[in-house]
Amino acid sequence: MPSMEFLWLFILYVFFLVLIVSIFCFLSGRSSSRLHHVLHRAEQVASLVLPAWLQRCLGSCFHTRNRAFVMLHLILDTLVFAEYTWEVLDYSLELEINWMLVFLPYILITLNLYCFYICCTTDPGRVTRQNESLCIQVYEYDDIMFHHNNKCPTCHLMKPARSKHCGVCGSCIQRFDHHCVWVNNCIGAQNIRYFLLYLLSLTLTAVSLAAVITVFLLQVVLLSHMMTAAYVDSEGHEDIANLAYVIQHLFLTFPRIVFTLGFLFLLILFLGGYTCFLWYLSITNQTTNEWYKARRIPGAPKGYSRGILGNLKEIFQPYSCYKKER
Ligand SMILES: *[C@@H]1O[C@H](CO)[C@@H](O)[C@H](O)[C@H]1NC(C)=O
Ligand SMILES: [Zn+2]
Ligand SMILES: [Zn+2]
């Protein structure tokens, strides 16, 4: 019964999922890696083939602050949770899966949306004329990655060590990490703690959703005795069901649920990886920006670490420029 067509469709489906999730994840760390370069190239190619109005539209998506990705994020959240609520929740409660596990995703997504909201709306730590001189005192210049007496050509202010000018937000950001299109804001000294919690809670939400759906599908397979069922194949032989048969059967019976599960698995893979990476950087007191720079300067010191606890304290209790003032 698992026909070739089905396998091809399934492979195509997995391929699309990988594509969607890779785009989703790479965009969130857009300015942090080589991808910036790749995107720049893609833009050059696009400028040759795309009509002007579409270029303007895409340009405003990436180069000015706008809510397109915030909306997309909320739409994806809504779709996944609508599917979960309308299909999985009923069945799961009927199959007597532990209700605490079934309701856990709602608690986690509430936490996540709260962190998301704060990331979108807080000031990441803009350097302004008023707090320029105070910001400069927070970190020492290492004269390798960050040089003394360096003026930002756009803001005309002195650049504090560890800061960077964000072209999208239009100002220099203290302890700049990266500009995240998904929260439509920069990630810097004042909001990286919320961003770390946001990533963690989003990953945990995806894990808990995937766990419930997996338990649910396993229950269905066990209760229906699918693994021991025999079926008659196209040539009239009787066969014991194999894994491909079970997958095909589940896919045909619950297409949306299996699709959602596939999406969640890939999200966990990529987002979980990214979350670990950013937590690792935080524990070692590096910003994404510095990590990226350090890879291109061999022997660059990783100079700002103050021990794991000190580093976490710095992130969760940032020196605000006002604190120094007092
Ligand atoms: C500098 O002051 C502005 C308000 O003038 C504030 O929004 C910003 O967060 C301050 N920067 C830092 C790094 O505290
Ligand atoms: Zn600047
Ligand atoms: Zn920015």
User: What does the pLDDT look like over 240-277, one tens digit per residue?
Assistant: 667 777 888 888 888 889 989 988 998 999 899 999 99
Q: Is the CB of 174 under 6 A from ligand 1?
A: yes
Closest CA to 22 of 38, 44, 8, 9: 38
Distance between Cα 70 and ligand 1 center (Å):
24
Note the pLDDT of residue 26: 64
Average pLDDT of every residue of the chain = 84
Distance 207 CA to ligand 3 centre (A): 29
Which of 197, 179, 173 lies closest to 123, judged by CA? 173
- Determine whether the shortest distance from the Cβ of 160 to ligand 1 is under 6 A: no
Give dist(CA 28, CA 41) in Å, integer.
18
175 lines ligand 1 (CB under 6 A): no
Is the pLDDT assigned to residue 325 strictly greater than 80? no
DSSP assignment letter at 318: P
Q: Ligand 1: distance of its center to the CA of 128 in Å? A: 6
Percent with pLDDT over 70 in the chain: 83
Residue nearest to atom 4 of ligand 1 (CA): 128
CA-based angle 3:228:215, to the nearest 5?
A: 85
For the chain, give every domain's residue range.
1-49, 50-325
Summarize the confidence of residues 121-136 as an average pLDDT.
92
Q: Is 321 in the pocket of ligand 1 (CB under 6 A)?
A: yes
The DSSP code sequence of 176-200 is --EEETTTTEEE-TTTHHHHHHHHH
| CB atoms closer than 10 angstroms to residue 36 | 14
Residues 6+ apart with CB under 8 A from 310: 285
Residue 211 pLDDT more than 60? yes
Q: Region 179-194: what's the mean pLDDT?
A: 93
Which pair of structure tokens corresponds to residue 201?
Answer: 């809670």
Atom of ligand 1 nearest to the CA of 138: 13
Is pLDDT larger for residue 13 or for residue 24?
A: 13
Cβ atoms within 10 Å, residue 322? 10
Is 180 considered catalytic here?
Answer: yes
Indicate the SS3 state at residue 240.
strand
Of residues 194 and 251, the one with the higher pLDDT is 194
Ligand 1 neighbour 133 (Cβ under 6 A): no
